[in-house]
Amino acid sequence: MADDFAQRYERHLNADPQLLADVRRAVGARLRRWGREELITAAAMCVTELLSNVHKHAASPECVLTLENRPRGIRAAVRDTDAGLPVLREPDFCSESGRGLFLLSKTAHAWGTAVDPSGKTVWFVLHAETLRP
């Protein structure tokens, strides 16, 4: 569901790996609409990581992706129904997995988690080179 009141986008989805390309396209389209083209690659990678973590670790693939356009850049969040928090660890570059959250932490200007009785939200912030009013 897109909020056409401009600065917020929300989409309910299942974190299915086969849908990730479609989600990346939607993120890119929204960021283009907001004039945030310089953030598309980083945002798509970070959103993909959060959705992959829901797919791999949450009890249910159902989640909500939220994007917000802010004066300094964007904030993105993925909310799911599992209270288990992601674990940032030093990557083993010989392993086939385990690097995503590390890459997100090095790409985003800030990131974090919030837990509530119905699950958790994992979010990140990307700053743009050009500030918007």
CATH number at residue 70: 3.30.565.10
Does residue 3 form part of some domain? no
Cα 18–chain centre separation = 17
Which ranges of 34-85 would DSSP assign to H, the alpha helix? 40-57
Does residue 74 form part of some domain? yes
Does residue 14 form part of some domain? yes
15 class by beta-carbon count within 10 Å (0-12 exposed, 13-18 middle, 19+ buried): buried
Q: Give me the residue label for tokens 């288990």.
A: 84
pLDDT, tens digit (0-9, with 9 covering 90-100), for 47-103: 999 999 999 999 999 999 999 999 999 999 999 999 988 877 676 666 555 667 888
Length, in residues, of the chain: 133
Does residue 133 form part of some domain? no
Does residue 88 form part of some domain? yes
pLDDT over threshold 60, residue 17: yes
Q: What is the pTM of this model?
A: 0.87
pLDDT over threshold 90, residue 41: yes
Q: Which domain holds residue 45?
A: 8-127
Range with the lowest mean pLDDT among 13-22, 39-48, 97-106? 97-106
Q: How many domains does the chain have?
A: 1
3-class DSSP state for residue 60? coil
